[in-house]
Structure 1
Amino acid sequence: MMLHGRSRPSRITQKVRERDERVRANLEQYGCGDRYIDVIISDFSNPLWREGVEFDAIITDPPYGIRESTEKVDSKTTSKQNTRSKDMPHYPSTSHYSLHQLYVDLLQFSAHHLKLGGRLVCWLPYHRDDYTSEMIPQHSSLDLVGNSEQPLSGLTSRRLLTYEKRDINTPDSAQLSCQLSNSYDFRDRYFNNAPESRTERRMRKAEQRKIGRIEALKRGKVIIDNKEAKNNLNKSRFQ
């Protein structure tokens, strides 16, 4: 649903998802609509591509755990009795997908499936106090040809990394260097090192809205609850 722009928006300030907010429309905006083939949903930690598949470029925005969860499909053993019947939907078990392992998998996949001269473009999030050049993932088959910063807040940033495949060596873990530790959690650093917690921020904004409503009533303004109207608008867009 999200890929086709029919799910709820993930941005907290956005109530209704735009009609053109989908993968295909994004390509059309750049004049590449004729290159759209289809969308595949899969678990990146378990690649589904056959051995000989090659790509000209891989452009990706890995999840940081802020709006999108950092999870992967994982088998879990349990002592509980299975009470699910055959006609019930199955939701696979998931586990945490660390940023370290995600970028290790991404660079190894790119080194293996990019054509010679092909490029990998991806974002790398980090807390500014943590940043060093050693944090940038490296692979012996990939040259880092671009590294630019985009500030996200006063405490966090992300870097747009561009790699180019330079040889056809078989990817191997010994050829890869990623200084992000398995325990590095950008989500935790993002929320727990802010000047105020999410709960404190919500309470502060709620208090501001309450004061605003009181002031508006004093001025004789009629307060209208737009929640129902927004819900009806959201439903009507996809009927």
Structure 2
Amino acid sequence: FHSSKLYNFEVCLEFNTYLCQFINKSIIMELPNASVEVEETQKLETPTIEQPDFLLKHPLQHMWTLWYYEHDRNKTWEENQREITSFDTVEDFWSVYNHIKMASELRQGCDYSLFKHGIRPMWEDEANKRGGRWAINLDKKQRTNDLDRFWLDTLLCMIGEAFENSDDICGAVVNVRAKGDKIGVWTRDSNHSVSVMEIGRKLKERLRISPKIQIGYQVHKDTMAKSGSVTKNSYIV
């Protein structure tokens, strides 16, 4: 998928082409001769019109759920985490994406999370507790230039099954913070080193991150147990 605008343009173009073809088809009915008697019970056949391709939705391999986190000191972390909607087709993804705020427009302290349906965006979830995340840290200037592109490309990689080991993908989170934003791609098992490294390399390639910049993989257990603000990296690409 190149962009939502290009996708919508292609749909409109296909729709107009179909209409022109349909309108140009003339339905010719032969008039009976005067000498031919037409039975009253004669039934006219209704022409069958096949459903055009642009009305068909394109299914994804998995159903995905969008979550939104907004910090409220009077609520627990789980109460602040809200499940927004789920989708399982290409068209429904773009419908959701085009009707929510861009990541760069979120207030500081807010998150978007997109996870496979049934997996909650929290370390303690059964699917996440043995895993970790590839973390991409962005400075303040990158919120304007890179954040939205990085986030969209990450989403497209996940729902489009761009990773060879896509079964190990749980979801992704974007954190909007005053000190700097962060995108994390969560995987199921941190001990699956081959899978983890493949996902990291593919992510870096798809996001067109400079080879000079390293991104690290952090195990959730290490993140929960950290004493400072920095978690050690278990893998680096």
TM-score (norm: length of structure 2): 0.24
Q: When the two structures are superposed, what TM-score results if normalisation uses the length of structure 1?
A: 0.24
Q: Looking at CA atoms only, which structure, 1 or 2, has the larger radius of gyration?
A: 2
